[in-house]
Amino acid sequence: MVRIILVMHAPLGQAFAACAEHILGRKPMLSVFEMKPDDSIDERVDQLYSLLVEPAEDGVLVLCDIYGATPFNIASRALKKALARGVIGHMITGTNLCMILKALTDQQEAPADLSEKVRLGAMKGIVNADCTLFP
């Protein structure tokens, strides 16, 4: 099973985890790794790297909130180090609740397949509801 790690600005990761638990009716199998404004970048890279290299049955999927922001930069550095050590890992940014639910419900997929399904799930979850509200 692919390990899912939410790497986000605090308190977004915890909020996503709580929403997923509410919707799924069970505690989700994921880790939350959040950044606070005063965090040391180098320390957080090392901490995330330690989390990434923990044994995972089928690899790891990192979901970040914003491309190019601090959580993304920390995750990029930590994941590069983990990949060099043989970890099978993927990262997607722009995380929304649809992506997290898709990741959790398809967690048994191969990491590359899961990564693509999560990306597609994000796009399916973005709908212009005007046409249904104002026909």
The model carries a pTM of 0.93
pLDDT tens for residues 3-16? 999 999 999 999 99
Where does the pLDDT of residue 130 fall: very low under 50, low under 70, confident under 90, or very high at 90 and above?
Answer: confident
CATH (domain of 23): 3.40.50.510
pLDDT tens for residues 58-99? 899 999 999 999 999 999 999 999 999 999 999 999 999 999
Rounded mean pLDDT of the chain? Answer: 94
Tally of domains within the chain:
1
- 3-state SS string for the chain: CCEEEEEEECCHHHHHHHHHHHHHCCCCCCEEEEECCCCCHHHHHHHHHHHHCCCCCCCEEEEECCCCCHHHHHHHHHHHHHHHCCCCEEEECCCCHHHHHHHHHCCCCCHHHHHHHHHHHHHHCCCCCHHHHCC
Residue range(s) defining the domain that contains residue 87: 3-133
What per-residue confidence (pLDDT) applies to 135?
Answer: 66
